[in-house]
Structure 1
């Protein structure tokens, strides 16, 4: 491949980053053009705690008061996805039943993956067990095309240390890369409608996937843009 071809391929694979409401921004995406969705939507918890948070500069996660947007969101996901593609959706135990119920109306759920962290998560821990896991709903549109041998549905990946966090729910890039490799090929398009600080975009860049990322919060959008461009 010559220098011109390499430069052209780089331009074609340049991430598309959108700042705004994903329900509006996704309307700009062509139907059937997305090869995989990997995202961590707001859980509808609107969490408040008396426990001191290490990084007080984090802004509150927008649209985290309810999940009224979920049916329309999933309908848009289905529209933009091509046939025989996967969607991965992170979810806490508080809303797993609701998310599962809504996702099953549109997609076929293949697994509920359990992500075990190396330390407990945030939350009001008074009078309760400290949460040390998170769920990932793995579903698909059409047939399930899995590019790996059998992988356990319980997996251990360390949580990002508080000193390195750029978003309160930032995900482990190695784990995201595993999901992307299992359900997409090099050069294919991955969408994250709730991009946060851009971890999915970094994983896609590492694996030579095209990427569309959408983020409502302008502060996190700018963090994600800078992080992906410099990864």
Structure 2
């Protein structure tokens, strides 16, 4: 296992399920967790899919994301990695909202809300274009009011990809969750950090961060992005929706 410490961020290159039980308890968990993806019925011969779903990248066999942990084990491990009172945000597509919710409730979480990200640019599909992704907003122990109670369920904004990670999320989206459910100096955990977006948001907002990534390639990318985030401060905020810019100015 490789460990890198960058500013107030501690990054682990290894298996999250092995690492999480040995970590200090976190104040908040935020993660775009891994799950198998399907093209939603677009045939390979229809030429309706492109990018990460193009035929040369993806065979519609559910194997675009290789490291898939069963949801019950995953949610139980995240629950155990949090302090007695803590929030948790877990991203999911439409097909996985229900199984992840069931696993979260079985693990001991309670359900606050279903949040929505309108990513503007839709994924081609034969049964309605997919322009939405979802975030389960959960809590453990005693519930706490979010820091900005006027925040809405829906966030709308595109993404300017900065890496080749197939499911990269925008920093402003993760910053919304970080800002609403933690304070400066508290610790945010992302056990499946991918290219490090949650860590970038934490570095820019004064939170401590623990990130875990199995793939050495994306681990190196995350290290580089978080290093640059400390160098650049909150420069990325200029591209964030206005309400998130206002929160980060507080």
Normalising by structure 1, we get a TM-score of: 0.83
**Larger deviation, residues 76-85 vs 54-63:** 54-63
> 1:42 deviation in Å?
1.2
Q: 1:229 aligns with which of 222, 227, 236?
A: 227
Does the CA-based 8 Å contact 1:62-1:217 persist in structure 2? no
Alpha-carbon distance between aligned partners in 2 of 1:107 and 1:52, rounded to the nearest angstrom: 37
Higher RCO structure, 1 or 2 (CA under 8 Å, sep 6+): 1
- Please state if 1:89 is matched with 2:102: no
Aligned to 1:35: 27
User: Counterpart of 1:110 in 2: which secondary structure?
Assistant: strand
Does the CA-based 8 Å contact 2:115-2:135 persist in structure 1? yes
Alpha-carbon distance between aligned partners in 2 of 1:224 and 1:172, rounded to the nearest angstrom: 14
- Please state if 1:133 is matched with 2:137: no
User: Counterpart of 1:44 in 2: which secondary structure?
Assistant: coil
Distance 1:79 1:118, change over 3 A: same
Unaligned runs of 5+ in 2: 230-250
Alpha-carbon distance between aligned partners in 2 of 1:118 and 1:142, rounded to the nearest angstrom: 35
User: Counterpart of 2:179 in 1: which secondary structure?
Assistant: helix
> 1:102 deviation in Å?
1.0
Aligned to 1:166: 164
Alpha-carbon distance between aligned partners in 2 of 1:97 and 1:75, rounded to the nearest angstrom: 16
> 1:190 deviation in Å?
0.3
Alpha-carbon distance between aligned partners in 1 of 2:184 and 2:50, rounded to the nearest angstrom: 43
Aligned to 1:149: 149
Q: 1:26 aligns with which of 20, 23, 40?
A: 20
Give the alignment's Cα RMSD to 1 decimal: 2.5
> 1:12 deviation in Å?
9.3
Q: What whole-Å deviation, never above 9, does each CA across 1:132-173 have from its counterpart, x for those lacking one?
A: 000100000012222112322122121x235x3431111111
Q: What whole-Å deviation, never above 9, does each CA across 1:65-105 have from its counterpart, x for those lacking one?
A: xx52x222222212221122100000000111111111112
Distance 1:35 1:49, change over 3 A: farther
Does the CA-based 8 Å contact 1:202-1:227 persist in structure 2? yes
> 1:49 deviation in Å?
6.8
- Please state if 1:114 is matched with 2:106: no
Aligned to 1:5: none
- Please state if 1:188 is matched with 2:186: yes
Unaligned runs of 5+ in 1: 1-10
User: Counterpart of 2:130 in 1: which secondary structure?
Assistant: coil
User: Counterpart of 1:175 in 2: which secondary structure?
Assistant: helix
Distance 1:136 1:216, change over 3 A: same
Paired positions, count: 211
Alpha-carbon distance between aligned partners in 2 of 1:119 and 1:63, rounded to the nearest angstrom: 26
